[in-house]
Structure 1
Amino acid sequence: MVPTLRPGDQLVVQYGAAVRPGDVVVLRHPFRQDLLIVKRAVERRDGGWWVQGDNPYVENDSREFGTVPDELVIARAWVRVRPPHGVQRSPRAALSWVLSAVRPVRADRSLARRLRAR
């Protein structure tokens, strides 16, 4: 999900939330249901959701495994939290980290339209 999410980012999620096109979702991998993955819900199709990652060079998404059934989509991402890089030594540095690290994971409608157009 780079550039939206980076390795080490943590997500605050809402289980059972309604999913709309453009939302970042947590789902069970269709072939390995013990594995949780994070993808963007692109569009609703017969039988479930078409999901894709934001990185066009990684195809571990619906381009590989097809439509994901609704019961495998378990949560919608609400907030992304980036871990601090090193120790924050001053209140100013800590405030700077908080302002840059905690961001809502918004539904990117334009990205969903671009992904659907491929």
Structure 2
Amino acid sequence: MPECTSQDGLTRGEGRRAGDGRGGPLKRIGLAEVYNPSMRPTLRPGDQLVVVYGAAVRPGDIVVVRHPFQHDLLIVKRAVERRAGGWWVCGDNPLVQNDSREFGAVPDELVVARAWLRVRPPRGVQPSPVPLLRWVLSALRPLTGPLRPRPPLSPSGSPAGLSGLLSRRLRAR
């Protein structure tokens, strides 16, 4: 089975698409929470992700995808590359294999959103100015560049994906 590394040897992983985008850009933005260590050191359990529904995905992006075998389970992975069956996705933590090494490429229709920003919760931050300032400077980290164009619409005029099934706040592991 292929490893979750790119040609340059860096660990990669993640996916693509969802959301209807009608009603303005804020309808395309949501939150996801990380629950397991598969994306360490980039993401830790408890981190919040600001995600963009319907954003185009490129190799190296962090994405939220529906698990191919458990569609009610959302997982956070890194998009490695496009393959014939969809996106090859992997976690940044090589010790956790709940990714494409286990279930293969993820079809485009199972890619829910692309992560845009990581928000790390304040853990043990003292309520004084210096520790609060350190937390603020380290808590927010952009995960991608500027928003990319949305994927093309289906013949019915709506984006492909599972937009009607998604909640505004995702719980992803």
TM range (shorter): 0.7 to 0.9
Equivalent pairs, count: 107
Structure 1: which 4+ aligned runs deviate by more than 6 Å?
none
Q: Letter of the 2:55 partner, please give it.
A: A
1:101 pairs with 2:147 = no
Give the Å deviation of 1:77. Answer: 0.3
Give the Å deviation of 1:89. Answer: 1.2
1:6 pairs with 2:44 = yes
Q: Letter of the 1:16 partner, please give it.
A: G
Give the distance between the partners of 2:118 and 2:135, measured in 1 at CA: 13
Unaligned runs of 5+ in 1: 108-118
Give the Å deviation of 1:87. Answer: 4.7
Q: Letter of the 1:32 partner, please give it.
A: Q
1:35 pairs with 2:70 = no
Q: 1:87 to 1:96 in 2, by over 3 A?
A: closer
Q: Letter of the 2:135 partner, please give it.
A: W
Report what 1:44 is aligned to.
82
Q: Letter of the 2:59 partner, please give it.
A: P
Higher helix fraction (1 or 2): 1
Q: Percent identity of the aligned residues? A: 79
Higher strand fraction (1 or 2): 1
8 Å CA contact 2:125–2:131 kept in 1: the answer is: no
Report what 1:61 is aligned to.
99
Give the distance between the partners of 1:49 and 1:64, measured in 2 at CA: 13
Give secondary structure in 1 for the equivalent of 2:131.
Answer: helix
1:83 pairs with 2:121 = yes
Measured against aligned partners, the alpha-carbon deviations of 1:27-54 in whole angstroms (never above 9, x if no partner) come to 0000101011000000001121000000
Q: Letter of the 1:19 partner, please give it.
A: V
Q: Letter of the 1:71 partner, please give it.
A: E
1:73 to 111, 117, 131: 111
Give the Å deviation of 1:56. Answer: 1.0
Q: Letter of the 1:40 partner, please give it.
A: R
RMSD (Å) for aligned C-alpha atoms: 1.3
TM-score (ref. length: structure 2): 0.59
